[in-house]
Amino acid sequence: MEDRFFPVYKRFKPVFVRGEGVWLFDSNGNKYLDLSSGIGVNALGHAHPHIVEKVKNQIEKLSHVSNLFYNLPQFELLEKLASLTKREAFFLSNSGAEAVEASIKLARKFFQGKKWKIVSMHNSFHGRTYGALSATGQKKYHEGFEPLVPGFTYVPFNNIEALEEAIDEETCAVILEPIQGEGGIYPADKEYLKKVREITNEKGILLILDEIQTGIGRTGYFLAEEFYEIQADVILLAKALGGGLPLGAVCTTKDIASVMTPGSHGTTMGGNLVACAAGIAVLDTIGNEKFLREVREKGTYLQGKLLDLRNETPLIVDI
């Protein structure tokens, strides 16, 4: 069976057949504590009852209609996103990479061809589709796929001088992760990110925050930008947003979104009704301030215990 797949993953041996809360069960009946959450996807665990109920109810009524028509699950999801993200306009996709692709087109379209370059960070990760790959500042992912999409410049993370030097009159946007994820869990310094916002405002260019991993309560705030006390022009969401179903979102203002006219972008499956139903259940739960406060409290507790453990063994480099 293994030879049926493209050899793009180094898969582990267990074949998982069921999940319940934080637990996974394989085909041999073994039980595993899931500490990866499907790479940041299952923020509420497996088979969460509210997600199951919402998905079951929706799929029994209607699973898909074209985005040429309106539908109620998208309306409900976007109202919740508007309230939680403080944004006005949204594009729904199937994944984080698709959200990144849409944001690249949005940034370039916003400046109508006058500005087109985008500054990204060394060690960043934004996805593996061509535009997202081009925005990713890791050479190992580029190898074998050049030439990439032109116009991307990479600068050291947390280095404001390098960022200022990289921005010129043709720069339309800066894209970064508030906390670099796949690159190794490197957080932006608070003052650095505030300065990035200040510079992008002064230069009249867009700040795109890739919150595909840090968003949806991952940091104890619905968006990491809340901790950093800034507001980006564009926020990208995915992973935990769909609660295990494929769902991503580009979140911005009506003014910025207004440049995307009919036909300038689109998707067949993005914003699928069943995925939106799952997303509604996720936002119902994680969008609650009491829930987020508990995430912060438990995160602080866990960090403390892990730091204690680090002092007991040289095998742990950092927390």
Encode pLDDT of 116-141 as tens digits: 999 999 999 999 999 999 999 999 99
pLDDT reported for residue 194: 98
pLDDT band, residue 315 (cuts 50/70/90): confident
Where do you find CATH 3.40.640.10 in the chain? 49-286
Any idea of the CA torsion for 84, 90, 92, 93, to the nearest 10 degrees?
A: -100
Q: Which of 54, 115, 117, 239 is catalytic?
A: 239
Neighbouring residues of 167: CB distance < 8 A, sequence distance ≥ 6: 119, 174, 199, 203, 205
Q: Angle, to 10 degrees, between the axis of helix 49-61 and the axis of helix 273-286? A: 150
Decide if 125 is catalytic. yes
Amino acid at 29: G
Q: Which of 117, 152, 210, 233 is catalytic?
A: 210
pLDDT reported for residue 305: 93
pLDDT reading at 80 higher than 80:
yes
Query: Angle at the Cα of 165 (from 163 to 171), degrees rounded to 5?
Result: 75
Q: Which of 90, 125, 152, 222 is catalytic?
A: 125
pLDDT reported for residue 2: 77
CATH 3.10.20.90 fits 49-286, yes or no: no
pLDDT band, residue 314 (cuts 50/70/90): confident
